[in-house]
Amino acid sequence: MACPDGLLTVVILAGGRGRRLGGCDKGLFKWQGKPLIEHVLQNIESVTPNILINANQNIDVYQQYGYPVVSDATADFAGPLAGMLVALRSVDTPFILTLPCDAPFASPDIIVKFCDVHKERQQRLYIAATAEGLQPVYAMIHNSLTDSLTQYLEAGNRKVQNWMKANDAVVVDFERQASSFVNINTENDLRSIC
């Protein structure tokens, strides 16, 4: 099944420093002739028109993709949770579904499976897992968790998995879709998938 209209906004997390890529803005790092974020967008645009980009640099470049762009509330590159929080505060759908900008193989099946599991479980927080372990930046988060996430970050916490475990995240098995979770953190990663 497809996701019901208005259930979620897909948020592409592109707000990191790209330290392992020499400070390059990871979402704009080119692979196969185009920026990584374009690969992600191309993969998911057929599933939903509700897309938001979280970025903390090169805002004007990201805006050219035609989707809203939001930046973290703090200027210290506080990690994925900060991007999740600003997204939760910026959308009018019940859920956000987050994907990293450095996952060029992210499949629309990820979105559909999260929606299917939500239809069965009716919980507020879902996190992907493969044989490699939890994949915490692939998550579906209900907006009722905004206050919990705000308090967690204001206390100086940054670990995504700890916050998700504390909020009883439902682990969704994506082992059959494991290839969709290949991500690029370094130039060696780029070479390994070329």
In the prediction, which pLDDT does 62 show? 97
Residue 8's pLDDT is 97
User: What's the Cα-to-Cα distance from 112 to each of 69, 71, 145, rounded to whole Å?
Assistant: 23, 27, 22
Q: Could you read off the pLDDT of 58-101 as tens digits, one per residue?
A: 999 999 999 999 998 876 656 899 999 999 999 999 999 999 99
Q: What's the average model confidence in pLDDT over 159-177?
A: 94
Whether the predicted pLDDT of 168 surpasses 50: yes
Contact 93, 28 (CB under 8 A): no
pLDDT given at position 75? 63
What value does the mean pLDDT take over residues 18-28?
Answer: 66
Q: Is 161 a residue whose pLDDT tops 80?
A: yes
Instruction: Tell me how far CA of residue 173 lies from CA of 52, 111, 127, 170, 180, in angstroms.
Output: 25, 13, 9, 10, 13
Q: Higher model confidence: residue 8 or residue 2?
A: 8
